[in-house]
Amino acid sequence: MLAYVFWHWPGAGVEADSYEKDLRDFHRALAQAKPAGFQRSVVFRLAGAPWLATSGPAYEEWYLVDGSGGLDPLNEGAVSGLCKEPHDRAARQAGGGTAGLYRVRAGEPKLAPPAAGLEEWSLAWWFAKPAGVRYEDFYAQLAPLTRQPGVSLWGRQMTLGPTPEFTLRSPAPLDLPGALEAFRLELQPLWR
């Protein structure tokens, strides 16, 4: 499973309620259009991500696809047909954005709590593999965490994206190994 992840923020003078409504409308249309290889999308509201050029609220969209073959249909399907108008409406309001490509490395590829309401928060830790540690050993260190329900480890693909190499996702706080220097973000689900 791969995830195309897109971070963005509203342009100057754009109201958060309007921006979020347009995002939900777009993701609703994308779920109906369901391009080949597309599984689902999840959108979070966040603040304080150091790789974003905004100090205000921002949004993190995860587009889960079956594999690299799902990227072209997603790219085309997101901006055509049923999705074109809601995509364009949301895109016109954006102040900027950046993206990356990630692959699930361990754990359950769940990104948001499964409850029906959107009031729950999810947590994300961003970090790099410590220098000199083999990937196999690194994954083994994180295994006690990634075996927990709802926890997943995602790794950046081909050094694409502005973030550290890994993100660990959880519906609840976790105690990370002491050697990891991680940046923690609180994520409020907006669409799932």
* pLDDT the model gives residue 122: 87
23: enclosing H helix or E strand: helix 16-33
Q: Which tens digits make up the pLDDT trace of 131-140?
A: 999 999 999 9
* pLDDT the model gives residue 114: 53
Statement: residue 5 has pLDDT above 70: yes
* pLDDT the model gives residue 161: 84
pTM comes to 0.93
Confidence band of 121 (pLDDT split at 50, 70, 90)? confident
Residues 6+ apart with CB under 8 A from 4: 62, 63, 65, 71, 74, 99, 100, 101
* pLDDT the model gives residue 151: 93
Q: Which tens digits make up the pLDDT trace of 10-56?
A: 999 999 999 999 999 999 999 999 999 999 999 999 999 999 999 88
Domain boundaries, the chain: 2-191
* pLDDT the model gives residue 120: 65
Q: What token pair was written down for 118?
A: 């959107």
On the 0-12 / 13-18 / 19+ scale of CB atoms within 10 A, 32 is exposed
188: enclosing H helix or E strand: strand 183-191
- Report DSSP state, residue 18: H
Higher pLDDT, 122 or 146: 146
Q: What token pair was written down for 191?
A: 């669409």
Higher pLDDT, 120 or 105: 105
Could you please report the per-residue DSSP string of 46-110? E---TTSS-SS-EEEEEEEESSGGGHHHHHHHTTSGGGHHHHHHHHHHEEEEEEEEEEEEEE---
Statement: residue 118 has pLDDT above 60: no
| Topology at the third CATH level for domain 2-191 | Alpha-Beta Plaits (3.30.70)
Backbone CA torsion sign across 86, 53, 61, 3: positive
